[in-house]
Structure 1
Amino acid sequence: MAEQAEIDAVQVRRPVRQLVAASIGNAVEWYDWYAYSFLAVYFSTQVFPASTDDPLVPLLNAFAVFAVGFFMRPLGGLLLGSLADRIGRRGALTATILLMGGGSLLMAILPTYDQVGVLAPILLVIARLVQGLSVGGEFAASTTFLVESAPTGRRGLFSSFQYVSTTIGQLVASGLTALLAVTVAKPDMASWGWRIPFVVGAVIALVGVWIRRSADETHPAQADLAAGKRPPLFTALRRYPRQSVLIAAVTVAGTVTYYTWTTYFATYAQVNYGFSVADATLASTIALAFFAVLQPLGGILSDRWGRKPFLIVFAAGFALLLIPLLAVIGSFLSLLLVQCAGMVLLTGYTAIAAAVNAELFPGHVRASGIGFPYSLTVAVFGGTAPFLATWLTQLGRPELFPYYVVVLAVFGLVVYLRLPETAHRPLT
């Protein structure tokens, strides 16, 4: 009886350990990713030469570098996803978090333009390229690792922690930046205070490496890896083109609505409805916390009812309700309720996206099969959504952007209706 009790305890601890190993690294990745955008207003004048004509030029340069990181993500998805298939998930997860920690450390010690001249922005670009490479690889490796670590009938639940940890990273970055903004004098914040969150990110990355080292390998063909039988770089794209296209098609509507609702919505409320920065940010923060709580519930229900119903509700909900929801925004309460309603619909995609992606590919090319098409789609559609919304506002046609989201939601609905149900199939 004592032996059986110990076996049962191990069987409980292992999935939890795997879940923590995947989640802490993903949270660190996204903490560092978002910390850059929150702190750009402070470090931009330190890294770029000031323009005598327009004081916004350094900030615009900083955000241009931020965009560069998005277009490194497909390369990271391809290279580090292939690494996860060639040497195992755990090794790739260690590589991604080390890359992100290294990029964060470089940001923390970045010299200013006054100290080293043009070398300062060059080093900033290098740090951002490393972080973009890392984020692209992290999704591929951690998605695969999470789903392969899940007990029978729990793949949806485990996959939901992809966005739980992402949201936690975003909230911590936002919270720490806000705390520093109110406790550190503005001149000090611009001089050295902005470096503190990057130091914190580098330290947490080391903790993540230590935790991930204790995780179990989940690659289904470990014997093949030991024997040196490793798939070439482009195997997934060459042998599984239909699945690669399907990953992109599944992702389009999800990534646009995700970045619109979780990242840009506060700005949208300020520009189009006249909300103050404080009110718009507070509503977004509360809605993000609500969103994180919803994810495991969505994953659990998808394990019982399947993936397709949730994807269909997500796409149909945004296609039918987005315009009416935006029309009722007036007060702070209505803004918050609309954001939370959107988070409920968005959960139909985010809670199960990792499981859907992983269930489409066989194990020996699962990480690389997911990594490149997913990251490329996010870069093209998700990364450009805030820019497109801002551009349409500058043209005096802000009302067109919601219709753009609706069109992509309709496209997603067509894809999801034809998608095979994979929830109850065994992983190949």
Structure 2
Amino acid sequence: MSTQQAAVPSEAAQTRRAVSNILKGSAGNLVEWYDLYVYTVFAAYFQSHFFNSKDELQAGLEAMAVFSTSFLMRPIGAWFFGRYADRKGRKAALTLSVTMMSAGSFAIALLPTTQQVGVWALVLLVLVRLIQGFSVGGEYGTSATYMSEAATSKRRGFFSSFQYVTLIGGQMLALLVLVVLQNFMPKSDLTEWGWRIPFAIGGVAALVVLWLRRSMEETVSAEQVQAAKAPVAAGEAQPGTMKLLFTQYWKPLLICIGVTLGGTVAFYTYTNFILKFMNDTSGIDKTDTSVINFWALFIFMLLQPVYGIISDKVGRKPLLLWFGITGVLFTWPLLSMLSNTKDPFTAFLLMMGGLLIVGGYTSINALVKAELFPASIRALGVGLGYAIANSLFGGTVPLIGA
């Protein structure tokens, strides 16, 4: 009896500790993805300051091309931060990534325009975007690894789903800032200088997360960190290295890339590109499309833990099958109907239909990938697999769509 009573507080304490660590880890994820998405939702307002084209469509294409360049740095960021996390610890890598993202956000908020420094404005913008892409490339794999390791064993699906709660939350926050500024600032002011505000907000928020992450617990033991630094016998590969990944874990890496491919295109289509798609094809007012996108993403965000709980009950495979089958069958019809509607509520329902499909992937994909690798190579394997697929397919969705 006393043993059972003693076990209850221990389990409760474990849950409280897991919740605390998940919140601290995921808060950085929210800020990282807010900073990433704020570029796309405000591109229409700042593109004239960096791109010389007087054709609005051409300037938009150039802005999306710069957005795509950040994806080129993701594999490099995944390699650097994955190795760093597997050899130095998850906490150290997550702290460094959010520091870099904060610096990038402040830099964009202060960038000079082409009217001030000519072509150097565009060069600086591309450089900052590359740094942010490098940072995000490291954040995904490391945070996915951290959340899967910090979660309690019986609720791993539920806790790991918060990676996409915060990822979606970051985009939603970017949309909220857009809607607020659209409603409280004249368009001329928003185009002239107001577009800098959201980047400054991201920089400040990242500093807050940096403070929070100082107190998060490490999920890798000191012994594991020391073992990663220890010399190995001739012919053997050290933990957290590309040699170990490609010689012993190349099959899980290919699976990780494969799982990410379809999910990446679907996710960016329904959460990122779809706002521009509605603006260009539906005839619905831009302010209305922003509101539609915001509320659809809000519901989508709330559904992530629900999908996670379901995966803890029935397993991960049924949700992935749901995503794959319904995605193939319904994505094209949904987009076709969306392009032909002028009714905001119909557009909202169509967008939600797509997001319900994608939820089968987003809620559990980080955990599925983390479970493919042992701790000694997990952050590198998850991060690199994700980054390779994203570099090839994710960054080109807005550009191809445009």
Distance change >3 Å, CA 342–CA 186, structure 1 → 2: closer
Does 2:23 align with 1:11? no
Q: Give 2:262's aligned residue.
A: 253
CA distance in 1, matches of 2:95, 2:111: 24
CA distance in 2, matches of 1:318, 1:373: 21
Higher relative contact order (CA 8 A, sep 6+): 2
| Cα deviation digits, residues 151-174 of structure 1 (max 9, x gap) | 011111111111110111111111
Q: How well do the aligned residues superpose, as a CA RMSD in angstroms?
A: 2.3
CA distance in 1, matches of 2:27, 2:48: 32
Q: Which amino acid aligns with 2:120?
A: L
Report if the CA contact (8 A) 1:171-1:285 is conserved: yes
Q: Which amino acid aligns with 2:78?
A: G
Unmatched segments (≥5 aa) in structure 1 = 391-428
TM-score by length of 1: 0.84
Q: Give 2:366's aligned residue.
A: 354
Does 2:39 align with 1:30? no
CA distance in 2, matches of 1:272, 1:192: 28
Q: Give 1:43's aligned residue.
A: 46
Q: Give 1:133's aligned residue.
A: 134
Q: Give 2:235's aligned residue.
A: none
**Cα offset for 1:22?**
1.4
Q: Give 1:183's aligned residue.
A: 184
Point out the more displaced range, 358-367 or 314-323. 314-323
CA distance in 2, matches of 1:98, 1:326: 38
Does 2:386 align with 1:383? no
Report if the CA contact (8 A) 2:179-2:291 is conserved: no
CA distance in 2, matches of 1:180, 1:328: 30
Q: Which amino acid aligns with 2:319?
A: F
Distance change >3 Å, CA 270–CA 16, structure 1 → 2: same
Distance change >3 Å, CA 43–CA 332, structure 1 → 2: closer
| Cα deviation digits, residues 333-382 of structure 1 (max 9, x gap) | 33222221222221111100011000001110000001112111012122
Report if the CA contact (8 A) 2:179-2:287 is conserved: no
Matches within 5 A, 1:184-199: 184-199=185-200
Point out the more displaced range, 150-159 or 186-195. 186-195
**Cα offset for 1:25?**
0.3
Choose which of 275, 278, 281 in structure 2 pairs with 1:266.
275
Describe the SS at the equivalent of 1:364. Answer: coil
Matches within 5 A, 1:1-400: 10-48=13-51, 50-51=52-53, 54=55, 58-219=59-220, 222-227=222-227, 228-229=229-230, 231=239, 233-234=241-242, 235-326=244-335, 330=341, 331-390=343-402
Describe the SS at the equivalent of 2:219. Answer: coil
**Cα offset for 1:180?**
1.8
| Cα deviation digits, residues 81-125 of structure 1 (max 9, x gap) | 111111010000001100100100111221233333333222212
Q: Give 1:406's aligned residue.
A: none
CA distance in 2, matches of 1:54, 1:255: 30
Identity among equivalent positions (%) equals: 41
Report if the CA contact (8 A) 2:157-2:312 is conserved: yes
Q: Which amino acid aligns with 2:50?
A: V
Distance change >3 Å, CA 311–CA 271, structure 1 → 2: same
**Cα offset for 1:16?**
1.2
**Cα offset for 1:321?**
3.1
Q: How many residues align?
A: 387
Q: Which amino acid aligns with 2:75?
A: P
Report if the CA contact (8 A) 2:43-2:63 is conserved: yes
Describe the SS at the equivalent of 2:26. Answer: helix
Report if the CA contact (8 A) 2:182-2:287 is conserved: no
CA distance in 2, matches of 1:232, 1:9: 33
Unmatched segments (≥5 aa) in structure 2 = 231-237
**Cα offset for 1:274?**
3.7
**Cα offset for 1:176?**
0.9
**Cα offset for 1:232?**
5.2
